[in-house]
Amino acid sequence: MTSVAEQPGVSAPGVRARLVRVVSMVRYRFFLYAGLMPYLLGAAWAYAIGGTLDAAMFWSGLGGVVLAVIGVEAFNDYFDARLGTDRVFDPEGGAPVPDAVFWVGVVAFAGALGVGIYLTSRIGWPILAFALAGGAAAIFYEAPPIRWSYRGLGEAVIALSYGPWMVLGSLYLHTRTFDTGALLASLLPGLLIMALAVVNAVPDFHQDRLVGKRNLVVRLGRRRAVALYLALAAGGLAVVPVGVAAGPFPLACLAALLAVPLIVASGRCAVESYEAPRRFLPAMRHMVTAYVVATGLFIAGLLVQGWRGLGA
């Protein structure tokens, strides 16, 4: 019987399969916790604390964030495949990543840079500084010659990109100023997403080590990496009561602490299963959920403060 790949006029893996692959790169989970949430936090801070929100700037900035996330996904997918990270134990597994994925990343990053230049012309040079710093972090996370993730710096770069840089950049779009309270608030997503970067690398310990990816999990070992990601997560949540007690955070932001049971559940699973990748998956899922719950409820607390201000 003739297979689909062998039928005349049908390519392998086929145009449709390639299109589906490109579209599926922008996974909802990555877009949600790595791009959208910190950006919304900065905008919510501008609305609640700064008393201003520029709708045109908000949507323009969001477009740049979406393009940057597409670029990150495309480059990570492409360079991981080229370096063999995902095929250490299954060399024949999975369809090859086409060169088109690389060019999707190039076009997306070029578009994000274009948005950054436009916003710079409207707002000022700090926007371009944030765009260039974020671009260098995103492009060279997996790509040569820097490869942050191979040098033990990838997790810190992620924390900076999706913590202070994203939050303060979003804030500056609307207020044209920086705020030490917003900087403190940015540590919540920054530390939690760094914890996510560490926990997500635990199941890949062996293949990362074999291809020379010297991330923190490879450098520390899985047991100590579990302790590290739990400490990072705890530190991220500890920012909330500190900020409320010190004054810059509204009381309603304490709702973010409802994520504590999720981090506890993640830690219990991780301690018991860090040497068994399949059993470790719930620990990762709990941390993703904790990030979304903590950051989402913190943003909601800021919006409540903003609505109260409007009603006063």
pLDDT tens for each residue of the chain, 312 residues long:
444 344 444 444 455 565 555 555 444 455 556 778 999 999 999 999 888 888 999 999 999 988 888 888 888 878 877 766 555 444 455 556 777 888 888 999 999 999 999 999 999 999 989 888 888 888 888 888 888 888 888 899 999 999 999 999 999 999 999 999 999 999 999 999 999 999 999 999 988 888 888 899 999 999 999 999 999 999 999 999 999 999 899 999 999 999 999 999 999 999 999 999 889 999 999 999 999 999 999 999 999 988 876 654
Distance CA(112)–CA(13), nearest Å, equals 30
233 touches 263 (CB < 8 A):
yes
Apex 28 CA angle, 130 and 218, nearest 5: 70
Burial 272-299 (b: 16+ CB within 10 A, else e): ebbeeeeebeebbebbbbbbbbbbbbbb
For the stretch 50-61, what's the b/e string if a residue is b when 16 or more beta carbons lie within 10 angstroms of its beta carbon? beebbeebbebb
- Of the candidates 151, 149, 145, 111, which has an alpha carbon nearest to the alpha carbon of residue 131? 111
* Alpha carbon separation from 148 to 98, 109, 140, 200 (Å, rounded): 23, 18, 6, 16
CA dihedral 34, 40, 42, 43 (to 10 degrees): 160
pLDDT at 1: 42
The residue ranges of every structural domain in the chain are 23-86+96-311
Q: Which two tokens stand for residue 88?
A: 């250490």
How far is Cα 135 from Cα 177, in angstroms, rounded to an integer?
22
pLDDT number for residue 24: 53
Residue 106 contacts by C-beta under 8 Å, 6 or more apart in sequence?
A: 71
CATH 1.10.600 fits 23-86+96-311, yes or no: yes
Phi-psi region of 77 (alpha: psi -120 to 50; beta: other; left: phi over 0): alpha
Instruction: Report the predicted TM-score, pTM, of the whole model to 2 decimal places.
Output: 0.85
Contact by Cβ (8 Å): 174, 58: yes
The position carrying tokens 């274009």 is 114
pLDDT of residue 44: 95
| pLDDT computed for residue 95 by the predictor | 57
pLDDT at residue number 11: 44
Q: Backbone dihedral region of 94: left (phi > 0), alpha (psi from -120 to 50 degrees) or beta?
A: left
